[in-house]
Amino acid sequence: MFLIEKMELYPFSPNEKVIADYILREKYAIRRKSTAEIAKAVYASKSALVRFAKKLDFPGWVDFKEAFLEELTYLDSQKTGIDANLPFQAEDDMASIASNLSSLKKEAIDDTLALNKGESLQAAVNLLVQAETIHLFAVSNNLLNAQEFALQMSRIQQDVRIHQLQGEIMFNAYFATKQSCAIIISYSGETHQLIQIMAFLKRKGIPMILLTSIGDNSSTSLATHVLRLATREKLYSKIGSFSTDTSITFLLECLYAGVFAKDFERNLALRKNASKFIEFDRSSSSKILKEE
């Protein structure tokens, strides 16, 4: 749920409702106003604003204000660009379809980059590097997005295990050790089975990286680190998951690259030597493809 939706639906007290209404009405204008100025405008104390923010699960007013403004900016950016749900129409020719998909995927990557700060990505990478085993839980086509990540990680001797069999997924979570960590991919953050797994892993003390849409959902409070996906698509009324798949793939590629960079020279040598040994019969007459 978006923060704006949460503010509209939360059962605030009458005085808190005044604060919520003021923020929703003023929107970007609160950026240049101090806490004291806002408190005066709503006939409340600064401590009342802090309590308001804490009811929405923020540690303080400044954190709430920053998150609110970031969400506004993101939602306004969705009003332009390609429609992620219907990126082309029946009358479009193939050139137009290809052009629209290209633009949509570029927008998805730009969105994903803007939503995830370097510190958040680095914290997730540090967790992966420290883990002996990385367990990856997802459902449906998100499992396909994860397979390339697992393959690339295996090439630098990182143990990534993708769990997908419905009857076995809880057993796999049960046998995860504290020396491991988990990656959970859930666009909605409301997939019942994944929430069960996250709650179980949290009880076991296993840290988790969650890839999910922006806003609060049932999964975010269970995760150790949350990375945000481009949030442009509806759950069902869409042609395909072009935007979401691109966002997931980009984030996983960032995580792989971050792990690779932690021991760059070793990993580069490992990949080169392994490829030479395993793929020795590959060749090309192209100057671009040909190895020196």
Per residue in 179-211, pLDDT tens? Answer: 899 999 999 999 998 999 999 999 999 999 999
Specify whether 124 is located in the same domain as 179: yes
Specify whether 58 is located in the same domain as 119: no
Contacts of 78 (CB under 8 A, 6+ apart): 232
- pTM of the prediction? 0.79
Domain of 18 in residue numbering reads as: 3-77
Instruction: Look at residues 52, 77, 102 and tell me which one is the last residue of a structural domain.
Output: 77
**CA of residue 45 relative to chain centroid, distance:** 36
Query: Is the four-CA dihedral 95, 252, 158, 266 of positive or negative sign?
Result: positive
How confident is the model at residue 225, as a pLDDT?
Answer: 96
Contact assessment for residue 212 and residue 196, using Cβ atoms and an 8 Å cutoff: no
Strand order in the sheet with 160-163: 160-163, 133-137, 180-185, 208-212, 225-228
| CB-count burial class (<10 Å; 0-12, 13-18, 19+) for 126 | middle
Percent of the chain with pLDDT over 90: 65
Mean pLDDT computed over 230-256: 92
How confident is the model at residue 241, as a pLDDT?
Answer: 92
Per residue in 106-133, pLDDT tens? Answer: 999 999 998 999 999 999 999 999 999 9
Number of domains in the chain: 2
pLDDT confidence tier of residue 71, bands split at 50, 70 and 90: confident
What does the alpha-carbon distance between residue 251 and residue 264 come to, in Å, rounded to a whole number? 19
Mean pLDDT computed over 45-56: 92
Q: Is the pLDDT of residue 285 over 70?
A: no
DSSP state of 233: -
| 3-class DSSP assignment, residue 284 | coil
Specify whether 134 is located in the same domain as 203: yes
